[in-house]
Homo-oligomer: A and B are copies of this chain.
């Protein structure tokens, strides 16, 4: 069964008449803010006739997307027949955001209105092969659904974030951070576990979306999110929309240092002369702590690393000219990063952007994945400008 028609079925009970679907979407829009409203208000808000709204509400109640509510208003009783009040049942369905990372699987669960219901984190190792990692992700999802008492059939959409270049169909074109990731058809593999749409996206891209949704970039449409690490990646919003690039590789700035014949970050940040393991975040954290405590060798290493980061961020800023740069990843723990970055960007960029630290912490990728899923849900629930066949 096609996912799109599956969702449409839930909306209008198998009646795929375009007009009826549009009327349902218009009515749900008027209900989406969660407030209970009367039939009369709905007629006013939607511009539909009273009998049409009554029919639509009837259908939406059957598919359990709308509920009638008891209302004892302060304003006292209406004269005549008491008004009937209705509300959108955001609990009628759910969406999931999943991060599949090098060291962590993180899952967040929300209702149809995006209200977060729960989350679950599972540690994984950098050496796990793709099967083990996928198994861990499935396990984390099952655990969260069980804890929250939510049925898998109640899921309307799943968003997934992971490092690497992701093709439009959800396969991993290039993913060097985790064994077996390059070439994996991640979308197809995960779609077997769910009956709803599963959307795959690069982790830094989702982080940009998350910060725009509820983090440091709320209200700003031109944003670069830098997932700062030993191999930095970035995600960009342009005019409020994700910029994936022609081949999904936009923002993969990590390779830039290879060109300058300059040392890699894992060398720059080393205090021993031996390069750090690029995936060993704990070793990096030790250097940062030493630097903060005044250790001279660590401080010099940190300076070298910062210069590298400034260069990468400057390249992004000069190319894209965003309003705001958000710094995330483990470097976001460092207030020490912010000031040098601001100073250097102001010095070298023709128009310096604002610079802020991520406010969403370790949840940022999973939250972006959840937002991706919610966009899918909202398009199904509320969009009125496309024929059904163009979706899902």
A246 partner, pick from B165, B319, B323, B344, beta carbons under 8 A: B323
* Residues in B whose Cβ lies below 8 Å from that of A255: 314, 318, 348-350
Q: Looking at the assembled complex, report how far the CB atom of A194 sits from the nearest CB atom of chain B, in whole angstroms.
A: 29
Bound-complex Cα distance A234 to B315 (A)? 13
Query: Is A245 among interface residues, defined by CB-CB distance under 8 A?
Result: yes
Bound-complex Cα distance A319 to B204 (A)? 12
- Interface residue count on the A side (C-beta < 8 Å): 42
The copy count of this chain in the complex is 2
CB-CB contacts below 8 Å: A153-177 with B: 165, 173-174
Partner-contacting stretch, out of A65-73, A79-87, A258-266, A277-285: A258-266
Q: Looking at the assembled complex, report how far the CB atom of A274 sits from the nearest CB atom of chain B, in whole angstroms.
A: 25
CB-CB contacts below 8 Å: A261-317 with B: 262, 310-311, 314-316
* Contact code string A345-360 (vs B, CB < 8 Å = 1, else 0): 0001111010000000
Q: A250-B320, A258-B348, A315-B319 are in contact. List 14 more A-B contacts (CB 8 A).
A: A173-B351, A238-B238, A238-B243, A245-B322, A246-B351, A247-B321, A247-B323, A251-B319, A253-B318, A255-B314, A255-B350, A256-B315, A259-B311, A316-B319
Listed by A's residue number, 16 A-B pairs whose Cβ atoms lie within 8 Å are: A165-B351, A174-B351, A234-B319, A243-B320, A244-B321, A246-B323, A250-B321, A251-B318, A252-B321, A254-B318, A255-B350, A256-B314, A259-B314, A260-B311, A315-B318, A320-B320
Binding site for B on A (CB under 8 A): 165, 173-174, 222, 234, 236, 238, 243-256, 258-260, 262, 310-311, 314-316, 318-323, 344, 348-351, 353
